[in-house]
Amino acid sequence: MGKDDVGDVLKEKSLELKKMFKDIKAVLEQWKFSVEESKEGLRIELHAVALIKKPKKEE
C-alpha cells in the first residue's frame, strides 16, 4: 500500500468516525485530524471531544 493509499484510507476512516458521532446525536465540540510524514513513518494525530446530551425528562 502506497503512502497516498494510506492517506485516503485514514481520511475515509476519520469521516466514518465523524458520522458515528452524528449517528449518536453527539455534539462534536472539537475535532482535529492530521497526518505528518517523518523519517520513521506517518504520524497521525486525532483529537475529538464530543458531548452526548442527557435525554430530557418528561414531566
Domain membership of residue 39 (yes or no) is: yes
Domain membership of residue 8 (yes or no) is: yes
- The pLDDT value recorded for residue 59 is 66
- Do residues 48 and 28 touch, judged by C-beta distance below 8 A? yes
In sequence order, the 6+-apart residues with CB closer than 8 A to the CB of 5 are: none
Q: How many domains does the chain have?
A: 1
- The pLDDT value recorded for residue 23 is 92
- The pLDDT value recorded for residue 3 is 57
Q: What is the largest CA-CA distance in the chain?
A: 60
- The pLDDT value recorded for residue 58 is 74
Per-residue pLDDT of the chain (59 residues; tens, 9 = 90+): 555 678 788 888 888 988 998 899 899 899 888 888 889 988 888 888 999 988 888 76
Domain that holds residue 12: 3-51
